[in-house]
Amino acid sequence: MRYERIIKGTFQERPNRFIAYAEVAGKRELVHVKNTGRCAELLKPGAVIYMQESENTERKTKWDLICVEKGERLINMDSQIPNKVVQEWVEAGNLFEDVRLVRPETTYGNSRFDLYVEAGEARKIFIEVKGVTLEENGVVRFPDAPSERAVKHLEELCKAVKDGFEAYVFFVIQMKGVRYFTPNRDTHLAFCEALKRAQTAGVHVLAYDCLVTEDSIRIHSEIPVVLGSPLLKESTEPLVAWYRKNHRALPWRENPDAYRVWVSEIMLQQTRVEAVKPYYERFLNAFPDVEALAEAEEDRLMKMWEGLGYYNRVRNMQNAARQVMEEYDGEFPKSYDQILKLSGIGNYTAGAISSFAYGIAKPAVDGNVLRVVSRLLASDADIMKARVRTEIEHLLEEVIPADAASDFNQGLIELGAIVCVPNGEPKCDSCPLAHLCRAKEQGIQMELPVKTKAKARRIEKRTVLIFRDNEMVAIRKRPTKGLLAGLYELPNVEGHLTRKEVIEYGKSIGLTPVRVKKMSAAKHIFSHVEWHMIGYEILVDELEKNCSEKMIFAEKEEINERYSIPSAFESYIREYDNKRNIIHKECSRS
Instruction: Report the pLDDT averaged over residues 438-449.
Output: 96
Instruction: Report the pLDDT averaged over residues 501-508.
Output: 94
Distances (CA, A) of 263 to 80, 252, 278, 279: 57, 9, 13, 10
- For 476, phi then psi, to 5°, come to -145, 160
SS3 92: coil
* Region of residue 410 (left: phi > 0; alpha: psi -120 to 50; beta: else): alpha
Per residue in 451-461, pLDDT (tens digit) is: 998 788 999 99
Cβ atoms 339, 350 nearer than 8 A: yes
In this predicted structure, the answer to whether residue 590 has a pLDDT above a threshold of 70 is no
pLDDT score of 310: 85
Distance CA 576, CA 571 (A): 9
Please count the other Cβ atoms lying within 10 Å of the Cβ belonging to residue 555. 11
Distance CA 126, CA 167 (A): 5
Q: Are strands 6-13 and 48-53 parallel, antiparallel or unpaired?
A: antiparallel
Alpha carbons within 13 A on the beta-carbon side of 158: 14
Distance CA 279, CA 302 (A): 12
* Spatial CA neighbour of 196 closest among 174, 221, 235, 225: 225
* Spatial CA neighbour of 166 closest among 128, 204, 133, 223: 204
pLDDT band at 589 (very low <50, low <70, confident <90, very high): very low
pLDDT score of 124: 97
Distance CA 43, CA 48 (A): 9
How many helices and strands in the chain, by DSSP H and E?
20, 22
Per residue in 245-292, pLDDT (tens digit) is: 999 999 999 999 999 999 999 999 988 999 999 999 999 999 999 999
Rounded (5°) CA angle 488-493-498: 135
Q: What is the CA radius of gyration of the chain?
A: 34
Q: Is 454 exposed, middle or buried (0-12, 13-18, 19+ CB in 10 A)?
A: exposed
Cβ atoms 117, 87 nearer than 8 A: no
Least confident window among 12-16, 171-175, 258-262, 545-549:
545-549
In this predicted structure, the answer to whether residue 586 has a pLDDT above a threshold of 60 is no
Of 504 and 110, more confident: 504
Q: At what angle do helices 230-246 and 386-399 cross, to 10 degrees?
A: 80
What secondary structure, in 3-state letters, does 223-237 show?
CCECCCCHHHHHHHH
Distance CA 267, CA 463 (A): 30
Cβ atoms 30, 23 nearer than 8 A: no
Please count the other Cβ atoms lying within 10 Å of the Cβ belonging to residue 205. 18
Distance CA 445, CA 126 (A): 46
Q: Give me the percent of the chain exceeding a pLDDT of 90.
A: 83
Distance CA 539, CA 235 (A): 64
* Spatial CA neighbour of 12 closest among 65, 58, 52: 65
Q: Which amino acid is at 273?
A: V
Distance CA 373, CA 449 (A): 9
In this predicted structure, the answer to whether residue 584 has a pLDDT above a threshold of 50 is no
Distances (CA, A) of 64 to 145, 174, 261: 22, 16, 60
Annotated catalytic residues are 265
pLDDT band at 585 (very low <50, low <70, confident <90, very high): very low
Cβ atoms 331, 291 nearer than 8 A: no
Cβ atoms 159, 167 nearer than 8 A: no
In this predicted structure, the answer to whether residue 588 has a pLDDT above a threshold of 60 is no
Distance CA 32, CA 51 (A): 9
Per residue in 138-160, pLDDT (tens digit) is: 999 999 888 898 999 999 999 99
Q: Which amino acid is at 293?
A: L
List, in sequence order, every beta strand (DSSP E) within 93-165: 99-108, 111-119, 123-132, 134-136, 139-142
Sequence length of the chain is 590
Least confident window among 163-167, 277-281, 421-425, 493-497:
421-425
- What's the mean per-residue pLDDT of the chain? 93
Which residues are paired to 211 by β-bridges?
A: 218
Q: Is 415 exposed, middle or buried (0-12, 13-18, 19+ CB in 10 A)?
A: buried
Secondary structure element (H or E) that encloses residue 67, with its range: strand 63-70
In this predicted structure, the answer to whether residue 558 has a pLDDT above a threshold of 50 is yes
pLDDT score of 580: 67
Q: Which amino acid is at 274?
A: E
* Spatial CA neighbour of 186 closest among 234, 143, 235, 125: 143
* Spatial CA neighbour of 518 closest among 475, 469, 556, 465: 465
Q: Are strands 19-24 and 27-32 parallel, antiparallel or unpaired?
A: antiparallel
Per residue in 220-252, pLDDT (tens digit) is: 999 999 999 999 999 999 999 999 999 999 999
Distance CA 470, CA 539 (A): 8
pLDDT score of 49: 96
pLDDT score of 94: 95
Contacts of 278 (CB under 8 A, 6+ apart): none
Asked if the bond preceding 238 is cis, omega within 30° of 0, the reply is no
* Spatial CA neighbour of 185 closest among 195, 174, 177: 195
* Region of residue 202 (left: phi > 0; alpha: psi -120 to 50; beta: else): left
In this predicted structure, the answer to whether residue 507 has a pLDDT above a threshold of 80 is yes
Contacts of 337 (CB under 8 A, 6+ apart): none
Secondary structure element (H or E) that encloses residue 183, with its range: strand 180-183
Contacts of 326 (CB under 8 A, 6+ apart): none
SS3 480: coil
